[in-house]
Structure 1
Amino acid sequence: MVIQGRKRFALLLAAQDSDYVKKVYGGYYNVFVETLGDEGDKWDTFRVVEGDFPSMDDLEKYDGFVISGSPHDAHGHEDWVLELCILLQTLFDMQKKVLGICFGHQILCRALGGKVARSCSGWDIGVRRVKFIEDFHFSIFLSTDYDQRIIPPTLSIIECHQDEVWEVPSGARVLAHSEKTGVEMFTFGENILGIQGHPEYNKDILNNLIDRLHSNNSIDIVFVENAKLQLMEAEPDTESWQRICKGFLKRDMIHIW
């Protein structure tokens, strides 16, 4: 297994930048590239939520695609959501690497034949402990010591969602779950990876998002207080999730089971 030199990726943004993220981080583009990028990478941004999609003629030049989270429903019928489903089906047929985060995880599932809907247990906001299936392993590094590094049986990740995957596509495999969500992570072959949580978020970003959800009456003050208290007491395993995502996107071959 080798990692090739320079890689080119497309970030498919399914959300508008909040004023806070723009001011503090320069936008979600910077948040994602800080998490997933390496020196020498090239990242192009397409704001699919605004109808900005890559040309079909340009898809071949990308080594991988990342779909962001979104306040929109992955089970909705907005024009851009339906167009995104068609794009993801095309990328699947082309065997392109696609990583879906939160909404991205859900829309990948929908596009490839699975089922997505509202969670029966309501919002999941905070740091959630995710449990991997027993035989899960992921090649992360090229060095001999880490070439077949075993991921710990559980990892914590930041979550913020009220929808979830109910059923993965036929042929896909569930890799992780939590006490709140049945499909925290799934894969479809060697080129599709969905993660329900947010490897790119930090607690500062989530705290601001909690405030915005409260201000638009999506969650009540009791929920806010409990979520912020839980955030003070837990830490996400950011580095491990970063390694999983980068290992998936940047290896020429991956072994997931």
Structure 2
Amino acid sequence: MAAGRRFAVLRTGHATEYTERVHGGYGRMLARLLEDDDEERGGGESETWDVFSVIDGDFSFLHREAGDDYDGYVVTGSAADAHATDVDWINRLLGALLLLHSRKKKLLGICFGHQILARALGGKTGRAEVGWELGVKTLQVDSETVSRLYGLAIPSTIRAIESHQDQVLMLPPQAVLLASSEKTKIEMFAIGDDVLCMQCHPEFTEDVIEDLVRTRLSRNLVSDDLAKEALASFGAGPADQATLKQLCKAFLKNV
């Protein structure tokens, strides 16, 4: 058995050329965000972070030797539709997530990951009636429940980076709602100690969302007004990325 804790990032989407080149893509961005540095480990056990491109058919994370599997799994964002029924890798991912959940593995879902986990575990996801949400939005957080679940004090209102046109429309059974926003009722939910999902992007930086907005505008996927509103949203202050990072790490690493 390998020493230290092991985590797998399931890459479900290809980032823009800019984000792949500058930041290494969605999988590496989340691994970088969540990995403890030497100071945080304080001489404690090491961590291994492996990225599996499930969108390209890599499901080898399921075939680890006994005792050498992962302590936690992170599912990234994607431009794909989590509600699609005729996409092979999505159907395989649904089965994989059910299997991992049955093994009581930690599962952290981000954006598409939030949606696909909700679907896999009995909820419903689909296209949002309100259309795209882009830029920095305000989330209302059930901070008391977050504190009870993760021993973490976070504000009841936080700012988060959003980039989605789909939503979780119905929570899975046994899920607890942790956060909502004006246009997205289910922004964050948990199931027991094993599942935490959030629609927002704790791994994004301002340049990443700006590149996404401009790319979608150039492809006529969003309106000029929506793009301007998204880019202007950073003017009201930065997103609370440090708070979201802390929450994700508390979930994955606090036993």
TM norm structure 1: 0.89
The letter of the residue matching 1:57 is: H
Q: How many residues are paired up? A: 242
- Counterpart for residue 7 of structure 2: 9
More deviation in 92-101 or 209-218? 209-218
Q: Which has the higher contact order (CA 8 A, sep 6+)?
A: 1
The equivalences for 1:116-135 within 5 A come to 116-133=125-142, 135=144
- Counterpart for residue 42 of structure 1: 48
8 Å Cα contact 2:127/2:166 also seen in 1: yes
- Residues in 1 aligned to 2:62 and 2:54: alpha-carbon distance in whole angstroms: 14
Match for 2:232 among 202, 220, 229? 229
- Residues in 2 aligned to 1:44 and 1:148: alpha-carbon distance in whole angstroms: 27
Change (3 A) 1:10 1:149: closer
TM norm structure 2: 0.90
Q: Which secondary structure does the structure 1 equivalent of 2:135 belong to?
A: strand
1:56 Cα deviation from its structure 2 partner? 2.8
Q: Which secondary structure does the structure 2 equivalent of 1:205 belong to?
A: helix
- Counterpart for residue 180 of structure 1: 183
- Residues in 2 aligned to 1:249 and 1:226: alpha-carbon distance in whole angstroms: 34
Unaligned runs of 5+ in 1: 141-146, 253-257
- Residues in 1 aligned to 2:173 and 2:89: alpha-carbon distance in whole angstroms: 25
The equivalences for 1:46-85 within 5 A come to 46-58=52-64, 61-77=69-85, 78-85=87-94
Change (3 A) 1:187 1:214: same
- Residues in 2 aligned to 1:24 and 1:139: alpha-carbon distance in whole angstroms: 38
Match for 1:138 among 124, 144, 147? 147
1:120 Cα deviation from its structure 2 partner? 1.0
- Counterpart for residue 255 of structure 1: none
8 Å Cα contact 2:178/2:187 also seen in 1: yes
1:117 Cα deviation from its structure 2 partner? 0.8
1:55 Cα deviation from its structure 2 partner? 4.4
The letter of the residue matching 1:72 is: A
- Counterpart for residue 217 of structure 2: 214
More deviation in 11-20 or 68-77? 11-20
Q: What value does the CA root-mean-square deviation take over the aligned residues?
A: 1.8
Unaligned runs of 5+ in 2: 38-45
Q: Which secondary structure does the structure 2 equivalent of 1:176 belong to?
A: strand
8 Å Cα contact 1:136/1:151 also seen in 2: no
1:15 Cα deviation from its structure 2 partner? 0.6
More deviation in 222-231 or 235-244? 222-231
The letter of the residue matching 1:200 is: E
Deviations 1:190-211 (A, max 9, x none): 1001000000001110000001
- Counterpart for residue 24 of structure 1: 22
- Counterpart for residue 107 of structure 1: 116
Report the identity percentage: 38
